Amino acid sequence: MSRVLIIGAGGVGSVVVHKCCQVPEVFSDIMLASRTKSKCDAIAAKLPRPIKTARVDADRVDELVTLMREFKPELCINVALPYQDLTIMDACLACGVHYVDTANYEPRDEAKFEYKWQWDYQDRFKKAGLMALLGSGFDPGVTNVFTAWAKKHHFDEIHELDIIDCNAGDHGQPFATNFNPEINIREVTAPARHWEGGKWLETPALSTAEEFDFPEGIGPRKIYLMYHEELESLTRHFSGLRKARFWMTFSDNYLRHLEVLQNVGMTSIEPIDYNGQQIVPLQFLKAVLPDPASLGPLTHGRTCIGCLIKGIKEGREKKYYVYNICDHHQCFEEVGAQAVSYTTGVPAMIGAMMLLTGAWSGAGVFNMEQLDPDPFMEKLNLHGLPWTEVIL
Ligand SMILES: NC(=O)c1ccc[n+]([C@@H]2O[C@H](COP(=O)([O-])OP(=O)(O)OC[C@H]3O[C@@H](n4cnc5c(N)ncnc54)[C@H](OP(=O)(O)O)[C@@H]3O)[C@@H](O)[C@H]2O)c1
């Protein structure tokens, strides 16, 4: 029986609230707070049980602290934007609240993400006897747990890791991103970076592609090398990794639109003067693109996200693949959201559940792979993200 505060009433936040409501024995009191309270109320109106809602500006520690002192949560799930990670962590420390998020901190004025800023909170969380669980989405999140599971049950040494994220769904829109457009485009247009031979290698964004044959009828798709935040923590925590890469599929249509938008300067985060007003082109673009939360009823097809791992077991080379397939339409039927929000929101709920039930415990800042993967893997099967493993 626990009180949980969920911050962010977007596509992911809506799924988190729906999934927490399904487990009243763990999440007995729920509050959804966001910048726009009407969005929280619209989500609350669709839920099977009552929750509290509130307006909060999560950029402001004082507002967060006031809200936390009023509601007195044991845990806060941050599914606002990466820009708010540090202010929400500060408020959690001030109020004695555990912290869970799905994306690492990113400064608003620089398209750069790394764990350093949040890892720097290690001593403060430890001293306060609180846990901060970082990156409890799908990737990062489940992909970290998949890797820890593989190491625990299938390998003595892991040498190569390829995280492969496929969205084989179609929303029928000329151009839309399936999570927050600003964060998505900052991530996709960043240089690709992968770990090889003990160092990071950088290549231009979307310049390296291969074909991968996805299972269960999804079939061959082009995958593009990218940088993704879980590579930073996984290479730190699995020091035997010789190569670690992250790949994602994109449709030709998405890439064509993105190229044009980049060429005309619409993806820039440098403010420009427009009629005497400073505007950031990427933020303006976000305002004209479809809201990812609105794509739910339009999206069909499936996602397939998994880890392809090579290493050694009992002196022999082994190749292993673990993945989840998620159907956009089934997600919409269950919680009114498409699969990208669903595959992020379910692990955020499970991460919170691990902490609140004591399945995962400890004081300090943790990445997902540092904790026992077994209870989390079990809950994935029970709460809508079943996984399959194959020895290749
Ligand atoms: N790990 C993964 O697998 C994964 C995958 C996808 C997404 N994510 C992460 O999930 C998070 C949510 O994504 P999303 O697609 O749900 O985004 P979204 O639809 O844009 O929702 C973000 C929500 O946060 C609210 N918000 C923004 N700034 C705020 C502030 N200062 N104070 C209070 N609320 C604020 C927004 O309020 P308004 O509605 O008023 O703008 C919005 O409701 C992002 O951090 C994203 O990077 C993780």
In the chain, where are the structural domains located? Answer: 142-328
pLDDT score of 121 more than 90: yes
pLDDT of amino acid 181:
81
pLDDT score of 110 more than 90: no
pLDDT of amino acid 292:
82
pLDDT of amino acid 293:
77
pLDDT of amino acid 113:
79
pLDDT of amino acid 179:
80
pLDDT of amino acid 339:
93
pLDDT of amino acid 296:
82
Confidence of residue 189 (pLDDT cuts 50, 70, 90): confident
- Atom of ligand 1 minimally distant from the CA of 58: 32
pLDDT of amino acid 51:
98
Nearby residues of 339 by Cβ (< 8 Å), 6 or more positions away: 167, 169, 299, 302, 303, 326, 327, 328, 331
Confidence of residue 32 (pLDDT cuts 50, 70, 90): very high
Mean pLDDT of 301-324: 97
Percentage above 90 pLDDT, the chain: 86
Query: Which superfamily, per CATH, for 142-328?
Result: Dihydrodipicolinate Reductase; domain 2 (3.30.360.10)
pLDDT score of 332 more than 80: yes
Cα→Cα distances 258→60, 181, 268, Å:
33, 11, 12
Mean pLDDT of 101-119: 89
pLDDT of amino acid 294:
84
Between 79 and 172, where is the model more confident?
79
pLDDT score of 320 more than 80: yes
- Atom of ligand 1 minimally distant from the CA of 60: 31
pLDDT of amino acid 180:
81
Give distance in angstroms: CA of 11 to centre of ligand 1: 7
- Tell me the average pLDDT of the chain: 95
Give distance in angstroms: CA of 13 to centre of ligand 1: 7
Q: Does 345 contact ligand 1 (Cβ within 6 A)? A: no
Mutate to test the pocket of ligand 1, among 38, 102, 343 (most ligand atoms within 8 A of CB): 102
pLDDT in tens, 222-248: 999 999 999 999 999 998 999 999 999
Q: Does 137 contact ligand 1 (Cβ within 6 A)? A: yes
Task: Provide DSSP, 123-181.
Answer: HHHHHHT-EEEE--BTTTBHHHHHHHHHHHHT-SEEEEEEEEEEE--B---SS--SS-H
> At 266, is the secondary structure helix, strand, or coil?
coil
Residue 252 is classified by DSSP as H
Give distance in angstroms: CA of 391 to centre of ligand 1: 36
Helix (H) or strand (E) holding 56: none
Mean pLDDT of 256-275: 92
